Each structure stands twice: as structure tokens, then as C-alpha cells.
């Protein structure tokens, strides 16, 4: 480890509150005992209140008020960080190596009791995901750097609607993770508007020499969701979608990423949404099909006929 890492490691060991000898520090960090003395002196000179006891049972301790300094984490805080790291890895977090190093330090510099408790907490929580090692990690790292540095980039981008990819100059404002996909929210110079681009559809990218200023107070996630679910100005233009059925099915529909934005009312046996008529007949049948007989349409009744038409189209498709 580097000099700063070793000095931080000593701080973590002293933070346990127990007395620790120079020999114990030397053995755990695998460094010369004279180096330990030198690091202790440097820490003391920098203002760390280290108490040194000489003699057969001597060793080093910290003043109690420094043990509780914000620099350190208690077991619950360490647990929260380590468990959050588990979720991040399953989401395909693109600073995975750095995250591993950080969590390793949390574990390495914990005392035995902390290590035991952390192990129990981590064994008690697991996240099941389908994320494999991302092949866009390097792209995400570059994008994140350009977001921070406010540097425009040129991307070669391919959409599902276009046969060929196109080159665009964009100003990257922020990165969003939604529904197992990464998006870059950026101002597109071709369209002259803020748009979202799926990162896995970026074929190539390179920095330009142009700098930009991100709008003050801009929120990438807010912009993304506003484009995904446009705000309705007048509820008079909306229709009631009333669904009945099993409680578990209705609970799931209330938590659906799209329907949750149109939730109106819930009782024990039905749920009411307010939606545009076009959306009800165009998209809702496909949202309800996976629930089979667990859900029934109460209102509008004409949606039942639309459901039948959708099913007939599927039957014809699979009979070919």
C-alpha cells in the first residue's frame, strides 16, 4: 500500500478504541516497525490525538472525542455502504474496480467485532440480478468525465428506427440509470433540444474542443421522466381507467413505472387511474395481458372489446 493508505489503515485500527501495539500494526500491515513509529509521529504532528503508553502492556490509543470523528463510520454506516455497493454492482455500476477497493478498505480496517457483524449483515442480504460485466463501462467512464468537465462530444449513434447510425454533436448534461439501461441526457446540436440517448447504442464517441455550460439547476432524471411521462395540464382531457381483481395484481399495477404517474384512487377491490383515451386503448391492453384472469376491466367497458381484438391479432400471428 502507499504511504497515505498505511497511515489511514493505522487510523482505522486505532479507531476501534482498543489499545494496539506498534508490533501488531507492523504485522497486520506487513511493514517495518520503524516505519510504524514514523507514521505515528507524522499522524501526531498533523493533529491526531494519539496517546502512547510505554512498558510491557504499552501501545497506542486515541482520545475518545477523536474516535467519534465524522471521518469514521460505525457498524451500521459501514453496513449501509457495503450493502449499497452490492446493489450498485448488480446495476452495472461503471466504477466497479474503485468500488471494490473502497469496500475492501472498509472491511480491512475494521476491528474483529466489526468484521463479524459486517459478515453477518452481508450474508443476510443478497441481490439477484441479470447484469453481466458491462461492455459499455469505458464509454460510461468517458461520458461521466465529459459531464463533469462540460466538454462537448461527437457520438456515432444508432437507433432501432434507423437503418444506419448517425453522427451527432452533443453536450452531455447527466447520466441516468433507468429500467436496467444507462442513458446520457444531452443537448443535441442537430435537433437543437435536450434529448436522451441510450449508452449501449453509442457506437463511437470522441471529445471535441468545445466547452458548454450546463443549465443552472438542471436535473437529468427530472428531464428524463418528463419526456417519458409528459405532465397533463387539464384533467378534463383524461378518462377513468377502473380495474378490479386480485389484491396482489392490483398492487403490482399501482407500482407499474408508467401507471404510478396516473394513479387516482385505490380501494380494497379496485384501483382507478386517469389516462388519456388514446393511451388507454393503445397501450393498456398490453399492460394487462400478463395478468390474465387476475385483473378485470370495470371501466371503460369498451376496453374489453379492445382486449379481445389484441388477443385475436396475437392468435393470428402465432397461427401463421
Q: So what's the pLDDT on residue 134? A: 62
Contact 185, 224 (CB under 8 A): yes
How many independent structural domains does the chain possess?
4
pLDDT digits (tens, 9 = 90+) for 210-244: 999 999 999 999 999 988 887 776 677 799 999 99
Residues 143, 220, single domain; the answer is: yes
Q: Does residue 63 sit in the same domain as residue 81?
A: no
Strands 151-157 and 295-299: unpaired
Closest among 131, 132, 119 to 83, alpha carbons compared: 119
The dihedral region occupied by 225, where left means phi > 0, alpha psi between -120 and 50, and beta the remainder, is alpha
258 and 315 share one domain: yes
* 32/51 Cα distance (integer angstroms): 21
Domain with 85 in it: 75-123
Same-domain check for residues 141 and 118: no
Number of helices followed by number of strands (H, E) in the chain: 13, 11
Domain of 292: which CATH number? 3.30.70
- In a domain, residue 22? The reply is yes
Question: What pLDDT does residue 177 have?
Answer: 93
Rounded CA gap, 139 and 90, in Å?
A: 18
Q: Is residue 286 part of a domain?
A: yes
Q: Tell me the C-alpha distance between 253 and 243, whole Å.
A: 9
**279 and 218 in one domain?**
no
In a domain, 128, yes or no: no
Q: What residues of the chain score a pLDDT lower than 50?
A: none
Q: Which residues, 6 or more positions from 131, have their beta carbon under 8 angstroms from its beta carbon? A: 89, 90, 91, 92, 180
Give the model's pLDDT for residue 132: 59
* 158 and 193 part of one domain: yes
pLDDT at 96: 84
pLDDT tens digit sequence for 67-87: 555 556 677 888 888 889 988
Residues 223, 262 within the same domain: no
Residue 164 is predicted with a pLDDT of 83
pTM: 0.69
Amino acid at each position: 500500500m502507499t504511504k497515505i493508505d498505511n497511515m489511514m489503515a493505522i487510523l482505522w485500527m486505532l479507531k476501534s478504541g482498543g489499545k494496539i501495539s506498534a508490533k501488531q500494526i507492523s504485522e497486520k500491515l506487513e511493514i517495518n516497525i520503524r516505519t510504524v513509529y514514523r507514521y505515528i509521529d507524522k499522524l501526531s504532528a498533523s493533529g491526531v490525538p494519539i496517546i502512547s503508553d510505554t512498558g510491557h502492556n504499552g501501545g497506542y490509543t486515541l482520545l475518545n472525542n477523536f474516535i467519534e470523528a465524522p471521518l469514521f463510520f460505525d457498524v451500521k454506516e459501514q453496513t449501509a455502504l457495503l450493502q449499497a455497493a452490492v446493489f450498485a454492482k448488480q446495476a452495472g455500476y461503471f466504477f466497479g474496480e474503485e468500488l471494490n477497493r473502497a469496500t475492501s478498505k472498509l472491511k480491512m480496517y475494521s476491528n474483529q467485532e466489526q468484521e463479524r457483524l459486517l459478515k453477518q449483515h452481508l450474508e443476510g442480504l443478497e441481490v439477484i440480478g441479470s447484469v453481466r460485466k458491462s461492455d459499455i463501462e469505458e464509454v460510461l467512464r468517458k461520458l461521466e468525465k465529459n459531464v463533469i468537465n462540460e466538454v462537448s462530444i461527437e457520438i456515432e449513434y444508432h437507433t432501432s428506427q434507423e437503418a444506419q447510425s448517425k453522427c451527432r454533436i452533443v453536450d452531455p448534461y447527466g447520466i441516468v440509470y433507468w429500467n436496467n439501461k444507462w442513458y446520457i441526457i444531452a443537448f443535441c446540436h442537430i435537433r437543437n433540444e435536450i434529448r436522451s440517448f441510450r449508452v449501449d447504442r453509442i457506437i463511437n464517441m470522441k471529445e471535441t474542443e468545445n466547452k458548454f455550460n450546463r443549465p443552472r439547476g438542471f436535473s437529468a432524471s427530472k428531464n428524463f421522466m418528463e419526456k417519458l411521462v409528459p405532465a397533463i395540464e387539464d384533467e378534463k382531457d383524461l378518462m377513468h381507467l377502473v380495474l378490479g381483481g386480485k389484491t396482489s395484481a392490483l398492487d403490482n399495477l399501482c407500482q407499474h413505472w408508467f401507471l404510478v404517474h396516473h394513479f387516482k384512487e385505490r380501494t380494497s377491490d379496485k384501483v382507478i387511474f386517469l389516462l388519456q383515451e388514446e393511451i388507454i386503448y393503445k397501450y393498456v391492453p398490453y399492460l394487462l395481458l400478463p395478468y390474465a384472469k387476475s385483473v378485470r376491466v370495470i371501466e371503460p367497458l369498451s376496453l374489453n372489446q379492445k382486449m379481445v381484438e389484441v388477443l385475436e391479432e396475437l392468435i393470428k400471428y402465432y397461427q401463421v
